[in-house]
């Protein structure tokens, strides 16, 4: 990762016993990134399951993951 936003936010969230969820992306881009967890709205047979969303840009500073920080 090119920015330190996740580490900075995690340090601030640590006082609340909380941290951001990170995951490894497999395939073309093995860089570590931030994953947004989602909830399934409607449950039941035949309903689509919730999916995770992997961010390609830092939600705090806007730097694209995998690029050098400015």
pTM of model > 0.75: no
Q: Let me know if residue 63 belongs to a domain.
A: no
Count up the domains in the chain and report the number.
Answer: 1
- Give CA 40 to chain center in angstroms: 18
Report the 10 Å Cβ neighbour count for 65. Answer: 18
Residue-range definition of the domain harbouring residue 40? 5-54
Distance between CA atoms of 63 and 8, rounded to whole angstroms?
A: 15
Greater pLDDT, 25 or 36: 36
Reply yes or no on whether the pLDDT at 1 is more than 60.
Answer: no
Return the percentage of the chain with pLDDT > 90, whole number.
Answer: 21
Residue 46 lies in a domain: yes
């Amino acid at each position: 990762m090119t920015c330190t936003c996740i580490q900075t936010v995690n340090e601030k969230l640590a006082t609340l016993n909380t941290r951001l969820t990170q995951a490894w992306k497999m395939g073309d881009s093995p860089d570590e990134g931030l994953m947004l967890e989602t909830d399934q709205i409607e449950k039941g047979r035949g309903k689509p399951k919730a999916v995770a969303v992997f961010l390609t840009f830092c939600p705090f500073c806007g730097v694209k993951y995998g690029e050098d920080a400015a």
